A and B are shown apart, each in its own frame.
Chain A
């Protein structure tokens, strides 16, 4: 797991939470054994798939919006240096402070120092993939600062000392009963009292979270957020949310620190008209999410401030420039984190997110994580490009048209460059056999000897690597005659033989 990137020192944790301990097939097998998890996932992904298709189907110009969204992102990446500099000037001109972070460790240090300078022992956080990616909560904790996640699902995950498993619904792997147990066990108010009258009704559980968090919102002086979009020409930051925890964090504290991947910039104000249509419909399956907040630097004229008096923007690389250098893979940086690809994926909807190891699960994670970290010989992320059937459902729903199947195939080509010795030798032999009809036919003659091992016309158990097949399905014995033999016989008999 020692990925040297442009000679940068790697600290414990490296890129942050972008790698798991196990390879995907092993982690997936474990997840599949959890019946409750599979039921929770099937229910939740099914529900959100249905909502999404209803609100996408009613939009007459959805394909035009997708084309525009994809083009804005491609254009942004092509002009990234100038757009980042433009964003920086615009934010500074409106009273914000801009920081640059090469990697997770540097971003964590910047945020920790900023929070520490305010003397804060606590910060409130808006759900943010970037800060999950860099492991900010743990870094703050190590510095004696308690970070409270304020999105309901993130709070559930945090209280349980668990990891998020979905981009939009981090606790999608938990059902109401499990969540009630987590609250009863870990949620404590200022006096250390557990919540009362909990039950397992989602409304009652939500009410408990509201009571628990409200007092923190009203008194915590520092907030940390991510950003969905940042407009280069105006310096406008945008956070899309549902619960109002975002508005609380973005409005009430004195200091706001926003951590944002460098690919989140968009060139113009007008570009938001595309993404504010694509994102909510793809993500929560709503025409519009309940709340979207936008701010440009520090607001409030004269003696009447509106919102934080200090605003810091941390621009994060952490492997994004590595992904950008891959001419096929760079489209993964178009991602607006809607999670539609997770919900339609036959793999994700059965294994859940933890099997992917990284903060970014599902089809997008299977390309984004290895692009951000690179793939070494023993890298668990090298198993991710293979965690797909290439069914293409992800590409169809992607609001910014990331061709995930093609990028997966491209990354498989990179993953097999190191390791995979036996497999490569086998593949080389097969390519040689199959590039001549004579060799192909001879090889099949040998293979058909296997017919005699079949029982009742099928194989129920075969040695590795074919055991991977027979673990879950039968294999029919090869037929008596190949098509080629049938064709040859028919020609000898003058054609047209049945």
Chain B
């Protein structure tokens, strides 16, 4: 199948490995990936920071860019959540019913990576090999906005040679929250400290998640506390095979 990739502004700019891995993985599974060049940002930051009026511009741009594709995949539960649950709501509240309708239609064709793999492509074993001790942090928006459930873990359990260890208090937020991390820096830092301690307690060498922004936050905390754990996007693990360790 032909899939349009929304790399997300965060992955495109600061975590390109996640987007590259998504491309490699889908191509390995025999699918064609397109990267619409006009794509930028889904507008979640504007919506969640209290600027729905300014976000309208980005929502429209997103609909214009991706409107022609049958399926859109993105390596971010958070951005997928915004596209699925916020775009049409914002457009409607700003009185643009036409855009709201386009956003609704696009939302129905938009998938977070694990959803696309499990629900649309029907794959559990993507043929990956990843010989590392990994703990998985289910990000808030994947759990409670998209409700991806155990799809990511199902995919990870089929990876060869992986040593998957459960993260204590896994379902608790890492404290990122977008601009929350800056506006309520101290509180965010306190939440992060507990997440870092839980990750450390697993003795994993890799902490994985399905959101580059949460990984950026957790990785920043691990680095600051000199914890020798790498943060890796779910897509990078699934893209790894015998010959290529994505790391």
Contact = CB atoms under 8 A, between A and B. Distances in A.
A178 B139 CA distance: 37
B58 A434 contact: yes
Nearest to A42: B194
A27 B189 CA distance: 15
Nearest to B216: A476
A435 B38 CA distance: 9
Given A392-B141, A440-B40, A469-B181, A29 B173 contact: no
A430 B46 contact: yes
A496 B23 CA distance: 9
Q: How large is the interface on A (under 10, 10 to 19, 20 to 34, 35 or more residues)?
A: 35 or more
A13 B48 CA distance: 32
A474 B86 CA distance: 30
Contacts of A432: 57
Contact of A435 (B45, B61, B86, B180): B61
Given A386-B184, A416-B51, A428-B54, A475 B178 contact: no
B18 to A, nearest CB: 8
A486 B86 CA distance: 30
Contact of B58 (A25, A28, A385, A431): A431
B190 A32 contact: yes
A70 B244 CA distance: 52
A473 B192 contact: yes
Contact of A473 (B47, B50, B180, B220): B220
A413 interface: yes
Interface of B is mostly: helix
B140 A392 contact: yes
B144 A25 contact: no
A471 B40 contact: no
A494 B192 CA distance: 43
Q: How large is the interface on B (under 10, 10 to 19, 20 to 34, 35 or more residues)?
A: 35 or more
B229 to A, nearest CB: 13
Given A409-B48, A473-B189, A473-B192, A468 B140 contact: no
Interface centre among B20, B41, B145, B188 (most CB of A within 10 A): B188
Interface string A19-38: 00000110011001000001
A356 B12 CA distance: 37
Contact of B51 (A413, A468, A487): A413
B216 to A, nearest CB: 7
B67 interface: no
A389 B16 contact: no
Nearest to B42: A434
A459 to B, nearest CB: 9
Given A396-B144, A483-B19, A25 B183 contact: yes
B205 interface: no
A437 B48 CA distance: 22
B140 A389 contact: yes
A151 B1 CA distance: 64
A229 interface: no
Interface centre among A25, A482, A483 (most CB of B within 10 A): A483
Given A393-B144, A409-B47, A469-B220, A32 B14 contact: no
Interface of B: 7, 9, 11-16, 19-20, 23-24, 27, 35, 37-41, 43, 45-55, 57-58, 60-61, 86, 89, 140-141, 143-145, 171-173, 175-193, 216-217, 219-221, 223-224, 244
State the 8 A-B residue pairs at the shortest beta-carbon distance, nearest first: A389-B177, A473-B220, A472-B189, A412-B50, A468-B182, A392-B144, A391-B173, A416-B50
30 contacts: A25-B187, A28-B184, A28-B186, A32-B186, A346-B175, A350-B190, A386-B184, A389-B140, A389-B176, A393-B144, A393-B171, A412-B50, A420-B50, A427-B49, A430-B45, A431-B46, A434-B40, A434-B43, A435-B57, A435-B60, A437-B40, A465-B182, A469-B220, A471-B189, A473-B181, A475-B216, A483-B11, A484-B7, A487-B23, A496-B27
